[in-house]
A and B are shown apart, each in its own frame.
Chain A
Amino acid sequence: MSVYKRNYRAYTGKLTPAWTRIFVLARYGYAEAWSSRITVGMFTLSMVPCLVFLFAIYFANNPVARLLLGLRPQNVLAINAAFFINVLAAQSVPALILASWIAPRLITFDLADDALPILLSHPISRFGYVFGKWLALFASLSLVTWIPALLLFAYQGYSSPQPWALSHLPIAGGMVAGAVIWIAFLSLLGLALSSWVKWRVVATGAIIAAILVPAGVGGIVSAVLRTRWGLLLNFPYMISLLWQRLLGVPGPFNSKASLPTAAITAMFTLACLLCVAMLYARIRAREVVRG
């Protein structure tokens, strides 16, 4: 089938392995996510806290710069696990905002244009479709969470006068694990909610609300019933507790503000299962006819 001949010709070339089709979805999803200037703008803004942390590391390791600015050593942040908890906490907010912006772009366009019958008529399963989209979102969120955090860690290792990086490797591992859990959860939640809302703006609002509203409800439950279990609805708080444990930072002194790791894990697992069920019900080539 040559362009100038304009007639049909069969394809006789080689085919890619079936498992790589997921990465086709991820690649196109990623390109779609970053084709928006708003996405690029959000990403740029999300790097501002990283710059602040970068300067903090610079001043912590550079006595001459401190002297020039008249900073006393006690006014400079100590670069330790608590510092990197702050990095994660600061980057988790732009990750949430970015997820709420990108996730609807990945799913809502397909649903609004009814593209699923065509997409799923290709050799790609429903799981493969969701996983491909999830990978695209996960990769995008990685750019604002664990990747800059690891770069800050590497910079600290480079600029520290004493050998620092090797003795603090568990911090790096904890950071990556903690950030991966958070963005994996955000990605799944974003896709699940986007699959149920056809309007992109509404989907964006729904994702942010799904994080903030239960946290508020959990706070009310805790206050009214005088129990700590209401915190199980507060995902940002639970992830911060998890980060503290992963990075080896002492938890809250008040036992009423603490939650067992098993309960946190169970709550995140439950939320993820709910998201999977939502996606399973919605991502279909055809509407299910009952009756």
Chain B
Amino acid sequence: MGVIDLEGLEVRLGNRTVLDRLTGALQGHVIGLLGPNGAGKSTLINTLLGFHRPARGSAHVFGLDTYRERAQIRGAIGYMPENDSFIGNMSGVRFVRYMAELAGLPAAQALERAHEALFCVGLGEVRYRKVNTYSLGMKQLIKLAQALAHGPRLLILDEPTNGLDPIARLRMIQLIKDIRKEGSVRLLISSHLLTDIDETCDEVLILKRGRIAALCNLEAERRSNRSFMELETVGATEQFSVRIRGLGCECACFPGGRIKLVIPDHIEARDLYVIASEQGVQIRRMNQRRDSLEDIFLRAMDHESAGPANVSL
């Protein structure tokens, strides 16, 4: 059982099919949700929260049906919406306490957790100010605080870095990493910013026109791509390449002493330096690159195939 299981999920709004037969199991600790505008990201989040009834198929969160058992699911979820959504004439601490009580915390614990959550996100000093006096960045943070206060099992963040300046964005990313590190909360992050997803997520679901364009385990991708290497050398490149082929590397030579190679697991970069030294070759540059999330995203966007694709490199 994954965190989120989609089984032929189809959601229609009016006559329009917004989510079209989504199937897949999301098991990552931090799941990224990517896609261009109108791909169905927000609709998927709303469906997981039980706001939309699937026209066909089903979605499960922690094994619970998102529509039939939505009350239980909502109790286990913390939701940070994309747009401004709060009660402006309440103080920060009162608002977070209110949300925590609605999530099921007794009044005293809710108050305690509200203070803690506000300090956790960095709003401790302004917690008695009315929410409508907060800046945009502070409003994002208080949405996160209210989503965290009741200790959810799944935290859904819809565009968490929307409208934040670079410093606030870095703080938000760091907060997400801290929450991830704590270990008790799974995260689903929807964002347009690939770097945000790349920095925080270990699994990514890419939607396109309501369908799954790619479902990819970023951790596995990172591991598998560690062996892809580009070298810039000076000296007897041909002999050097013959030697490293002898180690079991796949190797391609290019003019100007450039070599691209895929190294097996048992070969270290140090072995290459040893051979280069023996051959009298200078390694001027060594670039150990992996496929970026951007590559994965663009490739997924290029694919017109309807079915869910597990992206591999």
Contact = CB atoms under 8 A, between A and B. Distances in A.
Contact of B120 (A6, A284, A289): A6
B188 interface: no
B182 A9 contact: yes
A1 interface: yes
Contacts of A116: 85
25 contacts: A2-B116, A8-B120, A8-B178, A8-B179, A15-B104, A24-B102, A109-B88, A109-B89, A110-B87, A113-B86, A113-B87, A113-B132, A117-B79, A118-B79, A118-B81, A118-B86, A118-B143, A118-B146, A119-B99, A123-B71, A123-B103, A124-B102, A285-B49, A286-B46, A289-B13
Give 8 nearest A-B pairs by CB, closest first: A11-B151, A15-B104, A10-B184, A121-B79, A122-B102, A1-B116, A290-B14, A123-B75
A6 B124 contact: yes
A21 B98 CA distance: 10
Given A10-B182, A14-B106, A15-B105, A120 B72 contact: no
A117 B120 contact: no
A122 B85 contact: no
Interface of B: 13-16, 46, 49, 51-52, 71-72, 74-75, 77, 79, 81, 83-89, 98-99, 101-106, 109, 113, 115-117, 119-120, 122, 124, 132, 143, 146, 148, 150-151, 178-179, 182, 184-185
Is the contact region of chain A dominated by helix, strand, or loop, or is it mixed?
Answer: loop
A6 B175 CA distance: 11
A12 B72 CA distance: 16
Given A10-B151, A112-B88, 11 more contacts: A10-B184, A110-B87, A121-B81, A122-B75, A122-B99, A122-B102, A285-B51, A286-B51, A289-B14, A290-B13, A291-B14
A16 B103 CA distance: 9
A289 B18 CA distance: 11
A111 to B, nearest CB: 11
A187 B244 CA distance: 82
Interface in A1-50: 1-3, 6-16, 18, 21, 24-25, 28
Given A7-B178, A113-B84, A114-B84, A119 B105 contact: no
- For A9, A18, A112, which residue has the most chain B Cβ atoms within 10 angstroms? A9
A39 to B, nearest CB: 14
B15 A291 contact: yes
A9 B149 CA distance: 9
Interface of A: 1-3, 6-16, 18, 21, 24-25, 28, 109-110, 112-125, 284-286, 288-291
B47 to A, nearest CB: 11
Given A10-B185, A24-B101, A291 B113 contact: no
Contacts of B115: 3
Given A8-B148, A11-B113, A123-B75, A114 B85 contact: yes
A278 B182 CA distance: 45
- For A13, A123, A289, which residue has the most chain B Cβ atoms within 10 angstroms? A123
A25 B103 CA distance: 11
Nearest to A18: B71
Given A122-B74, A123-B71, A289-B16, A9 B116 contact: yes
B106 A16 contact: yes
- For B46, B49, B85, B113, which residue has the most chain A Cβ atoms within 10 angstroms? B85
Contacts of A123: 71-72, 74-75, 102-104
B71 to A, nearest CB: 5
A11 B148 CA distance: 9
Contacts of B14: 288-291
B49 A121 contact: yes
B121 to A, nearest CB: 9
A6 B119 contact: yes
B265 to A, nearest CB: 36
A16 B104 contact: yes
